[in-house]
Structure formats: C-alpha cells, structure tokens
Structure 1
Amino acid sequence: MGSRTARRRRAVVGVATLAGLLSVGGLAGSGLVRSPSQAAADTRPPAPSVITAPVTRQVLRSTVVLRGTFADGRTVSAQPSSVAETEAPSRPAQLVVTGVFTRAGRSVRAARALVEYSGRPVFPLPGAVPAYRDLVYGEQGGDVEQLQKALASLGHGTGGDTRGVFGPGTEQAVRALYRQLGYPVPVSRDESTAADPDGRTSTGADASASPGATPRQETSSTVHAMVPASEVIFVPALPARVVSVPVQVGDPVKGPVITLARGGLTLTGQLDPAQAGLVTPGMKVSVLSEATGAQARATVESIGALVTPGDGKEGSSDSGTATAATAGGGAYRPLVVKPDKAWSTAFAGQDVRITVTAASTAKAVLAVPEAAVTAGADTHTSVTVVTAVGGRRTVRVTTGASADGMVQVTPAGGADLEAGDRVVVGK
C-alpha cells in the first residue's frame, strides 16, 4: 500500500511540473509574437520635442577678429668704424667692445653712454638726420644745426655761433657734453703754415731768396673739439627704445653694436579681404597678447590695398613696417592700428589678437538667437515662447541689430517678453 501511494504522489508531482513548464513556455512564446499594428507602434518615432534658448538682455557687438604683428618701425644702428683722437691720444690696436650699459627693451635718454668700444662711448642725441659725417670745427649745414639744437636741449648753449655753423660756442658746448658723459673730448687738428718775419710763407723754396739760403718751414697745429659720427646716434624722439644689443664685452666690432627704434612700436594686422567691407578707419579695437597677457585699446588707422603672397608687396606696408603673411599664406589687406596711448614695450615682437568692434548697441537690449525669429506669410516676425507648464505662445517682435548669432528684438503691441523667457529655436 505504501509503495502504491508513493508512486501516485510522484505521478501527480510530475504532471504538475509539466503543466507549469508548458505555461511558462506559452507565456514566453506569446511575448515573441507581435501583431502588425503592434510592430508599427513599436517603430513609430517619439513625439517631437522642442529646443529652447533663453531671452537675454545684453549689449550686442559685431566684431571682426584677426591676427597682427608688432614691429619696431624705423630703426637706426650704430656701427663704429674708427676711434677718435683725443687731447691725450692713444692708438688702439683694434676696435673692441669695452662696455655694455643697456639691454633690449629698455628706454634710453639723450647723452647717456649705451655701449663703449675701445674706450669710446656710443650715445644718443635728438635729431632726425642720421650722423653721416664727423662734425668738426668750421663745418656748416643742417646736421650742424641739428647738433646745436640737441646741445641746447641739454642745457649747453652755443653762444653767438651762427645757426648751422660749428664755431667756438658750439665747440665749448661739445666739450661740456663730453664732460657730462665722463669721457675725454674727441678732437680734430687743424694744420696751418706759419709765415717768416718778412711776411713770406716758408713752405717751400723762395724764388727771391739769395743763392744758398735755406728756406724756413714752420707749421702749427690747432686742436678743436668735434663730434665723431661713430659715437653719436641721432634719434627723432627721445626717450627711445633699445631694439637690440648684439654684442658683449670683448667682442670685436664687426657690425652694429646697438639698434634703437626711431619711432614707437607699430601694429599691422592681416585682414581677410572678405571682411574688409565690415571694417572702416576709426572703429574701436582691442588688442591682446596671449603670450604675455598684455592688453590695449586702439582704433583702426588705415586699411591698405590687397596683398597677395608672392606679388612682392608682402614685405612692407604703407607705414614702412614689416608685415607677416597670414598663417595660411592667403591674400590679406594690411590693417594699421593706432593706440589710444603709446604701446607698452611688453608688446615688442608679439603676435597678437586684434578684435575690431564693427557695430554696437548703445545699451543692453533684449536679444534672442537668430534661429528663434520666424517670419509669417503676413511678413510679421515673431518668436515662440514656451511657458512654465509646457504651453506655447507666439509673440510678435521687431528686430534690430545683430551680432555673433544674436539679434535684438522688441515686443510689438505691448506683448510680454522678458529676459529669462525661453524661446523655441528648433525641434
């Protein structure tokens, strides 16, 4: 009996287990079978949503950004070629640098020794005409007048000398200049021939002399102060900036020992010809050196003619300053920038970013992305505002200035539109 009961129980459990498995399999199979309508519903795209952007209140500025390079403008160099004689003469064996008293980037004033070679100074004086000759006693000309003006500006008057004539007053002023510099005065020697007691010169044989007489020859040397061309650098405006000092103490003099900028730094940008119509002289400019962080305000001074690399014009601009071709080597128009105040020397040699403000609103205005403005069949423009609960309302607007993808909007007919509202810009 017990054995039959156990067999019956096992049979009932087996039947129940099989029924459970068949039920689970049926449910799983039903999940894999979909009707055509269900398949279409499953593949239908989701309900469309909208992309919104906030209404802002800001000053709109239309800008043009370009690259520019600072250059030193016109420069003047000193390249000594000789050593002047002094009242205590010495004869150097060679021209060699014996002192360096400044460095690139420094501002220098008049009558200060900047470099010394073979014991002689190189110093600047104010003047536009370069030193092209030694200025000695008795010389005349515009360069002499320039020297006289420079001496007077340093407090060394030239007495009663005629303007442009190197006379005794100018000579005394030159002596005072070199005493100020702390160097022996350079001199020139005026060789002259003396006459004999009878009033006849004695530089050669006298035809009226008695036979056998030996003619007398007497010469004298007059020493005058002078200014050697190798020692002075005339610069139109002082203080001036040192562009380079390519020598060290002990170097032989084989070229320029110092170069000064004859004018201030100049900035020339490379304007894309496609943007030239957006920029005109007088527009405001901001300048930034990413390398140093230096910033400045300026204005557009001029826009030059089209320059195409390879046409021979890319080496210089109308202002005489060097310009660089654009990074891609394409055509450009040189844009000269004038600073509101003198350029800082921190900009020297820098490649900078120039931002030109082509247009600007006078004050902060309501603005939306350009994509938010739509025009209807009635030609009226509007924006669609999304409410806090997800609703939408259309607001008619008039548009104004645009810049950098934003456009000024003014609600029409007293419609409600405020900064912070969200407007539809796409779906």
Structure 2
Amino acid sequence: MRRRTGIMVAAAVVAAAAGAGALAFGGGDDADASARNDGLPPATAAVVRTDLTQSKTVDGKVDFAQRRAVKSAVDGTVTVAAREGATVTRGQALYELDDKPVTLLYGPVPAFREMKVGARGTDVLQLERNLAALGYGAGLYVDPRYDKATEAAVERWQKSLNRTPTGRVGKGDVVFQPDRVKVVAADAALADAVGPDTAVLTAASTKPVVRAELDQSDAPLTAKGTKVEVTLPSGKKEPGRVTGTVNTGAAGEEDAGDSITVEVTLDGGRSAASGEDTKVSASVRFVSESRENVLAVPVEAVVALRGAHGGYGLQIVEGGTSRMVRVETGMTADSRIEVSGPDLKEGMKVGVAKQ
C-alpha cells in the first residue's frame, strides 16, 4: 500500500508543482534551509488535524436478498394474483389457484407430494410444526408421521381457511419457504394459466439489501466487510457492509461484462429501508481506507526535494520568512494529503499556489 501511495503522491506533486510555479524546490541536501531568495509563496494554507478517508461513490438500487421464483406445483388458473410488494408470513395466502388459497408455511423442504394418513417424512414434520405454530396443535405429537391426530389438526386448519376439511394436504395447497417472504414481482396475472414450469411470483427475503455496480479495477472494494454509507432514495443515510457479490449473468440476466455487482447489507436490518422506493437510485459510498487524527495539508502544498536524499517537503511560512522542512507523506483523500515530521505542528502555515 505504501508503494501505491508513494506513486500517487509523486504524480500529485508533479501536477501541483507545474501549476504552482512560484513554489521553490529545496536545494541540495539541506531541506531545512530557508527558501532561496527568501521568497514567500503566493498563498498559504494551514496544517490541520483531521480524518482522511479514501472512498468511491456509485449508484445503487434497494432490493431484497435471496430472490427466487415460486412456481405452481400443479396446473391451474390464477384466481387471485400475488400482491407485489407484500410481505407474506406463515399461514397467509401467497396467491389463489382455482379459487383456493395457496398458503405459505415455513420449512426448507419443498412440498413435493400430497400428504395424508400413512405418509412419513421431513415434509410431514414441517407441516406439523407449522400447524402447532398456527394454533392447531392440540393433541398433536410433532413427528414425521402423518396419523389421525395430524389429520384432525389439518381439518381444523382447513375449516379456518373456508376450505373443504379433507384432512389431506394436496401437492399444490402449500408452499414451503425458509421464513416470511417479500413478493418482489407478481409474474402471473389474474386468469393466467400456470403449471409446474410457470413462475407465479418472485419471492425474496424481507432483509433489505442494496446492489451496486463497480468496475473491475475497484475489486478491492468488493471484499466482504467493506464499510459503506448508503444514501437511500428518501435522503436517509444508513451504514452498511459488503456481504458478497452477485452473478448477474445467471437466471437470464444480461452479463455485466467488466463490472462487478456487489450486495450491501444495511446495519439497520429489516426496518432500515422500510417505505423506500425500489425504483429510484440510491447512492453508495464505499470506504477503502481511512486514517484518523492525522496532520494534513492540501496536495499542492507538497513539493519534491532535489538532491541526494530527495523526498518531499513543505514551505513553512512564519511571519515574513519561509523555510523548507522535510516531511513524510501518507494517504491522499479529498485533495488533502497526510504529512508527518518532527518540525511539523497543527496550525502552521504552508505555501500553496495562489487560488
């Protein structure tokens, strides 16, 4: 990092020196000698103690994590479409098919068959856990067996939904998802015919994220844990961190070429982006490096020293005289550069080009 910083400083100093003209270069090896001809600079700036931060700001979009398509398990006609933007929790209908609600239940295993008395498996265990959580677990022993107690619990649940109490759960009656979901897109409209190959809706986690696109040259900013500050469409600022990258070439999306799409998780959690317009751009400021409580001067104040030892210096102005002092340089940010040295103190005046 020091090598890269040195290259950046050298380039900045050459550019500044070309524009300054009147700023003297230190002669020989004596960096502490008075400037030649006791020349004073055309303008001065103060040495300040501050925090420096290297950052890059790009546009982003508020989104939700873990997008995935929800397909119908059976053929049918959509009689109530999914409501885009809705948050659906356990026991609520995601949509209706053939005038029957398709209910969201929690669990990692998909609903792959009809469940009835005699069935055994993880899907049955999931079903019973959900029945108990919804308040229909009286007399139910939660295990992988679909028995008469399970059938009775299912009948009580079906009656609450105004469905025929068959005691069986059909293949297309429920959708298992890991947790509550956000409906980010209604893919099938009212009266659409759907089937196992048809996406009825696109669901996502209710956890808000911000996706932003960076150039390949900004790859260090995509590291997991990189700090960001997001200005949401409403103007509210929220801190966050990079949690990963997104493959935009998948799922039929266009390949982003030389860009990298990163996903940022907001520190404020689910409520951080509540009510934000996902169609309006957010501003994402990535922080790549920071230095706290350091001395800094305008970049154009630093001059390259000639002589055997070279290095960099500052023209210190005190009253009607000036002298050149040798300094070590560090990070540059926002047109300022970190400087240090035994003869340098906060509040000193240094020579700069006339504004």
Cα distance in 1 between the residues matched to 2:333 and 2:78: 61
SS of the aligned residue for 1:315 comes to: coil
8 Å CA contact 1:396–1:411 kept in 2: the answer is: yes
8 Å CA contact 2:48–2:346 kept in 1: the answer is: no
Cα distance in 2 between the residues matched to 1:325 and 1:352: 22
Residue equivalent to 1:35 = none
The answer as to 2:137 corresponding to 1:164 is no
Residue equivalent to 1:400 = 330
Residue equivalent to 1:220 = none
**Alpha-carbon displacement from aligned partner over 1:292-317 (angstroms, at most 9, x marks no partner):** 4354322233468xxxxxxxx7514x
Cα distance in 2 between the residues matched to 1:160 and 1:278: 52
**Alpha-carbon displacement from aligned partner over 1:279-330 (angstroms, at most 9, x marks no partner):** 64322122234x44354322233468xxxxxxxx7514xxxx887655xxx4
Cα distance in 1 between the residues matched to 2:43 and 2:253: 46
SS of the aligned residue for 1:60 comes to: strand
8 Å CA contact 1:366–1:418 kept in 2: the answer is: no
SS of the aligned residue for 1:362 comes to: strand
SS of the aligned residue for 2:119 comes to: coil
Residue equivalent to 2:266 = 339
Residue equivalent to 2:243 = 301
Change beyond 3 A, Cα 1:322–1:392? farther
Residue equivalent to 1:75 = 68
The one-letter code sitting in structure 1 at the alignment partner of 2:249 is G
The one-letter code sitting in structure 1 at the alignment partner of 2:264 is V
Residue equivalent to 2:119 = 139
8 Å CA contact 1:72–1:265 kept in 2: the answer is: yes
| Correspondence 1:198-237 to 2 at 5 A | 225-237=167-179
Which of 224, 243, 249 aligns to 1:315? It is: 249
Residue equivalent to 1:270 = 213
Cα distance in 1 between the residues matched to 2:158 and 2:301: 76
Cα distance in 1 between the residues matched to 2:127 and 2:71: 17
Change beyond 3 A, Cα 1:366–1:96? closer
Change beyond 3 A, Cα 1:352–1:120? same
Cα distance in 1 between the residues matched to 2:312 and 2:255: 44
Give the superposition deviation at 1:243. Answer: 1.8
8 Å CA contact 2:44–2:350 kept in 1: the answer is: yes
Give the superposition deviation at 1:141. Answer: 1.8
The one-letter code sitting in structure 2 at the alignment partner of 1:229 is K
Change beyond 3 A, Cα 1:381–1:96? closer
The one-letter code sitting in structure 1 at the alignment partner of 2:269 is A
Give the superposition deviation at 1:407. Answer: 1.0
Cα distance in 2 between the residues matched to 1:355 and 1:324: 25
Give the superposition deviation at 1:352. Answer: 4.1
Which of 231, 239, 247 aligns to 1:288? It is: 231
8 Å CA contact 1:398–1:411 kept in 2: the answer is: yes
Change beyond 3 A, Cα 1:349–1:150? farther
The answer as to 2:167 corresponding to 1:185 is no
Give the superposition deviation at 1:259. Answer: 3.6
Change beyond 3 A, Cα 1:334–1:382? same
Change beyond 3 A, Cα 1:298–1:323? farther
Cα distance in 2 between the residues matched to 1:261 and 1:416: 55
SS of the aligned residue for 1:152 comes to: helix
8 Å CA contact 1:113–1:122 kept in 2: the answer is: yes
8 Å CA contact 1:281–1:300 kept in 2: the answer is: yes
Give the superposition deviation at 1:252. Answer: 4.4
Higher CA-based Rg: 1
Residue equivalent to 1:384 = 315
Cα distance in 2 between the residues matched to 1:63 and 1:395: 30
Residue equivalent to 1:423 = 351
The answer as to 2:296 corresponding to 1:367 is yes
Residue equivalent to 1:204 = none
The one-letter code sitting in structure 2 at the alignment partner of 1:423 is G
Give the superposition deviation at 1:124. Answer: 0.7
* TM-score normalised by the chain length of structure 2: 0.70
Give the superposition deviation at 1:168. Answer: 0.8
| Structure 2 unmatched ranges of 5 or more | 1-20, 23-40
Give the superposition deviation at 1:73. Answer: 2.2
More strand by share: 2
Larger RCO of the pair (alpha carbons < 8 Å, separation 6+) = 2
**Alpha-carbon displacement from aligned partner over 1:77-129 (angstroms, at most 9, x marks no partner):** 2537468xxxxxxxxxxx451x46x7322222111234334431122111112
**Alpha-carbon displacement from aligned partner over 1:391-419 (angstroms, at most 9, x marks no partner):** 64434434333224321223533x55517
Give the superposition deviation at 1:383. Answer: 1.6
Change beyond 3 A, Cα 1:114–1:336? closer
Cα distance in 1 between the residues matched to 2:218 and 2:326: 33
Cα distance in 1 between the residues matched to 2:317 and 2:260: 46
8 Å CA contact 1:76–1:262 kept in 2: the answer is: no
Cα distance in 1 between the residues matched to 2:99 and 2:253: 39
The answer as to 2:224 corresponding to 1:245 is no
Give the superposition deviation at 1:152. Answer: 1.9
Change beyond 3 A, Cα 1:155–1:264? same
Q: RMSD of aligned C-alpha atoms?
A: 3.7
* TM-score normalised by the chain length of structure 1: 0.60
8 Å CA contact 2:64–2:205 kept in 1: the answer is: no
Change beyond 3 A, Cα 1:184–1:333? closer
The one-letter code sitting in structure 1 at the alignment partner of 2:133 is S
The one-letter code sitting in structure 1 at the alignment partner of 2:327 is V
Cα distance in 1 between the residues matched to 2:66 and 2:300: 46
The answer as to 2:100 corresponding to 1:108 is no
Give the superposition deviation at 1:245. Answer: 3.1
Residue equivalent to 1:64 = 56
8 Å CA contact 1:67–1:270 kept in 2: the answer is: yes
